[in-house]
């Protein structure tokens, strides 16, 4: 009897030591997208590209670029197959500076951006990975001053419309995105801090904030050609 008791205890102990079975991780449900697949153009009037860097440790100073163009090749059935690209004009840098000096022009035309030699910065996506019902991680190539490095953007899908809510033709879709890059990788070395974390310059790490709206022109409707009259039969 004692042997059976020991055996039963050993079996119970072995059962308790087995790892618990975990349910398979569920993929997040995808939100409904009310816009068709196709090529969309970036709406420059409702898109903002903002960069933010720590200014002598005092504030996260913001600059905005007003000249932005781009396109989205959107796949509504499989958004991870979508592709996006954008171009920013360096001479459209806009700061909140209101002094006597034209600070915008100074940044555009100095060793900061040198817009005459490097007129544009570009982004081209290389991969998209869905991370939630309305979020994705978009990896791509960021080119500044003709130097290219990869960057990852955390993107949120906001909304879409098969047709404009105000009755204008064409579909709409909008996103928010954010990411970071090191300006030193692109040759932007002016006022670099003396050491990592020091507050005696402008931070090497720059935050990129994007609010983007894309529009797809209304698809032309094809009108059937009028039937040709039959030739008279003699």
At 10 the pLDDT is 42
Longest distance between any two alpha carbons in the chain, whole Å: 116
Number of structural domains found in the chain: 1
Q: Given a cut of 90, is residue 187 above it in pLDDT?
A: yes
Tens-place pLDDT, residues 98-135: 999 999 999 999 999 999 999 999 999 999 999 999 99
- Work out the percent of the chain whose per-residue pLDDT is above 90: 74
Q: Does any domain span residue 172? A: yes
Residues 39-67: what's their mean pLDDT?
Answer: 97
Tens-place pLDDT, residues 54-66: 999 999 999 999 9
Listed range (8-22, 67-81, 158-172, 179-193) with the worst mean pLDDT: 8-22
Q: Does any domain span residue 10? A: no
Question: Would the pTM count as exceeding 0.85?
Answer: no
Q: Does any domain span residue 119? A: yes
Mean pLDDT (the chain, rounded)? 87
Distance CA 2, CA 8 (A): 10
Is residue 48 packed enough to be buried (19+ CB in 10 Å), middle (13-18) or exposed (0-12)?
middle
Q: Does any domain span residue 233? A: no
Is residue 171 packed enough to be buried (19+ CB in 10 Å), middle (13-18) or exposed (0-12)?
buried
Domain residue limits at 198: 30-216
- CATH number, domain containing residue 167: 2.40.128.110
Q: Does any domain span residue 16? A: no
Q: Does any domain span residue 226? A: no
Provide the CA 50 distance to its chain's centre, in angstroms. 12
Q: Does any domain span residue 4? A: no
- The residue ranking higher by pLDDT, 13 or 91, is 91
């Amino acid at each position: 009897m004692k042997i059976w008791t020991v055996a039963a205890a050993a079996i119970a102990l072995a059962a308790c030591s087995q790892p618990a079975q975990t349910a398979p991780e569920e993929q997040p449900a995808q939100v409904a997208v009310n816009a068709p697949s196709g090529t969309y153009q970036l709406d420059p009037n409702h898109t903002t590209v903002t960069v933010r860097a720590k200014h002598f440790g005092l504030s996260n100073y913001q600059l905005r670029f007003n000249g932005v163009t781009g396109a989205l090749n959107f796949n509504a059935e499989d958004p991870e197959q979508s592709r996006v690209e954008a171009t920013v004009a360096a001479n459209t840098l806009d700061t909140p500076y209101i002094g006597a000096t034209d600070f915008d022009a100074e940044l555009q035309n100095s060793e900061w951006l040198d817009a005459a030699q490097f007129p544009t910065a570009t982004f081209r996506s290389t991969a998209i990975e869905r991370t939630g019902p309305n979020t994705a991680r978009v990896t791509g190539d960021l080119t500044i001053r003709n130097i290219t490095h990869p960057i990852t953007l955390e993107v949120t899908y906001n909304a879409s419309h098969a047709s404009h809510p105000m009755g204008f033709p064409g579909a709409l879709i909008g996103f928010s995105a954010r990411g970071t890059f090191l300006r030193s990788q692109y040759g932007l070395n002016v006022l670099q801090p003396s050491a990592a974390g020091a507050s005696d310059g402008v931070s090497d790490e720059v935050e990129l904030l994007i609010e983007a709206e894309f529009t797809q022109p209304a698809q032309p409707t094809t009108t059937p050609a009028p039937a040709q009259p039959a030739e008279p039969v003699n």
